[in-house]
Amino acid sequence: MKKFLFYGFMPFVLLIFFLAGQIIYFGYNSKPKKADCIIVLGCKVRGNEPSHFLKARLNLAIELFENGYAKYIIVSGGQGKNENISEAEAMQIYLKRKGVKEKYIIKEDKSYSTYENLLNSMEIMKYMAFKDAIIVSNKYHLKRASLIANKLGIRASYAGCFVTDWLYFEITGFIREILALLKFYIFNM
């Protein structure tokens, strides 16, 4: 019985390690390339204020924008529970406070998942005749975002942040992402 449990459970453990390895490898080896736009994937908003993770994503987008990687920033995210405004609205306000002119910020505030973030951002890219993007999120989120972008036909490079001050949430996000990646591979969404 012990052998059966060991050999029955071992493939699952190996699969989890394989997925974790994919997430880590992709997140830490992704490099942004100049593009027409930067897409910042949404994350929790506390009232009207971006969460620490969302601020880290926005600060990375600002750095890329100021270094000439792209001329426009698409902020993507709808309004979730306990959020006074949409994630996109909070991101736009934050970027403007940090000196990004409103004419360079494009707001997408209808999405509630990574898939919708990218689908709706792709529609904006088509409308604006943008050919490529830099997708910005936490490092642990980039692998799945890349699979979704590839599925949708978005030509993209990736840039990720790691918020050391919120290590617990980075770890829990990473663990959740393993399951989300597994779900993507099973259901292709």
Listing DSSP states for 110-158 in one string gives ---SHHHHHHHHHHHHHHHT--EEEEEEEGGGHHHHHHHHHHHT-EEEE
pTM of the full structure:
0.93
Q: Please give the chain's pLDDT, 189 residues, in tens.
A: 566 556 667 788 899 999 999 999 999 999 999 999 999 999 999 989 999 999 999 999 999 999 999 999 999 999 988 889 999 999 999 999 999 999 999 999 999 999 999 999 999 999 999 999 999 999 999 999 999 999 999 999 999 999 999 999 999 999 999 999 999 999 877
Domains of the chain: 35-187 (3.40.50.620)
**Is there a contact between 159 and 134 (Cβ–Cβ < 8 Å)?**
yes
Q: Which residues does 39 contact at the CB level (< 8 Å), separation at least 6?
A: 74, 76, 117, 118, 121, 133, 134, 135, 136, 156
